Structure 1
Amino acid sequence: MHEQPSWPAGYTGRAATHEDVPAIHRLVAECERALYGRVETDPDVIAAELARPGLDPARDTMLGYGPSGELAARAWVNRRSAVDVHPDHRGRGLGGALLDWTERCARHSGTPRLVQTVPGADQAANALIRSRGFAPKVTAWLLAIELAEEPQLPEPPAGITVRPFAPGDGVAVHHMVEDAFDEWQQRRKPYGEWVRLTIDRARFVPAMSPVAFAGDELVGAVLSLDDPAAGMGYVERVAVRRDHRDRGIARLLLRYAFRGFHQAGRRGCTLWTHSDTRALGLYERVGMSVRRSSTVYQKELSAL
């Protein structure tokens, strides 16, 4: 187990366990309410973070507790890193202590670089991470579309058929999506990790997750999540096989998903993309617009 962070006076810490998922989710939810006015992360994502391949919770996670025993902050590090500080505990040095801790952990493990995403609206967090020598790598955008009227479906490209995601599609969709993302992602997600982040989530909706075929071959997929409390849909993954791009398949699949959400009574749909994917123009052409941005920072490391 790595050393403790340099906690501010009155704060203590310990590693996280899977039993801490509900408490960590409540912390992250409070951070999101303060920044966005709504909760965007579900407990499945927190559980998936703790189950990342290669991440040892006893070594690679840290929970910070305040003077009264309340959960005040959390961090994890495994090539990427995340740091969250409860709004009631900001301005006391917790973020800096945990950011420095993630870097020390990464150096000890021989990680060549560390990556962290910071919301554009969080000016203090952006200033902090830049002060530690992190440099902007890519820009990520949250896009949204209003669904006041039922979206119209374009004509499918010649030879392309579309149907909803069905049981048994997981392995083929995983393989196709990871192939499509190989152009820019740092690593392929193994099937178990990918499943936890997509089709095994409680909010996954097969009916709004269309898949496209050319004959019997899977060539495209959109995987969607539902958020009934917010009255919104969310597109988690968009992928088209390389040899079938620029045919309108992604546009068709997105329209299928949007129509499904509209018919289910959702008033809009959102998704995230970033500059490495070069897909911003596609989403704008189907009627989406940028709502906010985040910056993905990277720092090159040398082992201790």
Structure 2
Amino acid sequence: MFPPGFTSRPATIGDAEAIYRLIATGEIQWHGRAEVVPDAVAADFERPELDVERDTLVVHAANGDLAAWAWLHLGKRGQVDVHPSYRGLGIGTTLVEWTEARSREVGSEWMAQTVDDADKAGNDLMRSRGYEVLATNWLLERPIATAASRQAPDGITVHAYDEAQSHAVHELIDAAFSEFQPRRKSYDEWARLTVERETFLPNASTLAYAGAELVGAIVALDLPETNEGYVEQVAVRADQRRKGIARAMLDATCAEFGRLGRGDCILWTHSGTGALAMYENLGMRVRRSTTVYRRRL
């Protein structure tokens, strides 16, 4: 039950820009700047497993404002965002209840929600409903002006993204991510979320080779409304880690961001990867964090 005057309906791709603005407004309130990628919502709507008609909901105020939205992916991953102007009215609680009901409907035994650590009300809501902390996400930053560029390790060459290698890049990244995210992505799903996005930056995306073998990859995105470059994915083949390949790729990506006029390089990492210390050794520092909560239904 939403407050009087508020209405809800399934989202459409036409809502993507307004939803992006809603998320950005929340980030600005909490952190003084927006870090959401402009085409992130549209890319999520392209996920092949997402039933937009049944797995999304947008809420409008009586004046037509987009007050909130929610979505559920594969019955297990929920996300709720409420515009700062409409918090405290119970809309977030109603949307969390909707994601839980939808998750039960598709037969899920559990579901997860991610909440910004600056959102005290959102974190309190999760705990009050029996959610437990599953993981932490950290947004890391690296000032490009102070980043030293180092040579690649012996036997390793670093080049800009090559479209001919797209399937090999997908296989490498999917294998690396499967170590902490069991669900594998098809090439089509991965491509829609990365190299087929409007914000994809092939020149800032970096590939590493040992001889002719692909052993590392960075997928970079543009943040046109900021002075930052965004690293969407980083992966190094398991047998080639701890050799400095990630550092060499990140140096090359940051250098290209610098040529594009960007002041910082940013990326998210997940506690399940165990990669935070590695990134800190690469000169990155934590800017902010989110918490992933999980509840058995």
- Shorter chain as denominator, the TM-score bin is over 0.9
Further displaced range: 53-62 or 97-106:
53-62
Of the candidates 113, 118, 125, which is equivalent to residue 115 of structure 2? 118
CA distance in 1, matches of 2:163, 2:94: 45
Q: CA deviation at 1:225?
A: 1.5
TM-score (norm. length: structure 2): 0.94
Aligned residue runs from structure 1 range 40-119, under 5 A: 40-78=35-73, 79-119=76-116
Return the letter of the residue paired with 1:188. R
CA distance in 1, matches of 2:265, 2:259: 12
CA distance in 2, matches of 1:152, 1:42: 26
Q: CA deviation at 1:250?
A: 0.9
Q: 1:157 matched to which residue of 2?
A: 153
Return the letter of the residue paired with 1:201. R
TM-score (norm. length: structure 1): 0.92
SS of alignment partner, residue 204 of structure 1: coil
Q: Which runs of 5+ in 1 are unaligned?
A: 1-5
Contact kept in structure 2, 1:32 and 1:39, CA below 8 Å = yes
Return the letter of the residue paired with 1:62. L
CA distance in 2, matches of 1:267, 1:96: 38
Further displaced range: 226-235 or 176-185:
226-235
Alignment size in residue pairs: 295
Further displaced range: 48-57 or 265-274:
48-57
* Cα displacement string for residues 59-109 of structure 1 (whole angstroms, at most 9, x for unaligned residues): 111111112232211001122111011111110000000001100000010
Of the candidates 19, 38, 50, which is equivalent to residue 33 of structure 2? 38
Q: CA deviation at 1:245?
A: 1.1
Displacement over 6 Å in runs of 4+: none
2:127 is the alignment partner of 1:130: yes
Q: CA deviation at 1:147?
A: 1.9
Percent identical: 48
Q: 2:16 matched to which residue of 1?
A: 21
Q: 1:9 matched to which residue of 2?
A: 4
Return the letter of the residue paired with 1:26. R
Q: CA deviation at 1:118?
A: 0.7
Contact kept in structure 2, 1:21 and 1:43, CA below 8 Å = no
| RMSD (Å) for aligned C-alpha atoms | 1.5
Aligned residue runs from structure 1 range 201-240, under 5 A: 201-240=197-236
Q: CA deviation at 1:150?
A: 5.6
Contact kept in structure 1, 2:208 and 2:215, CA below 8 Å = yes
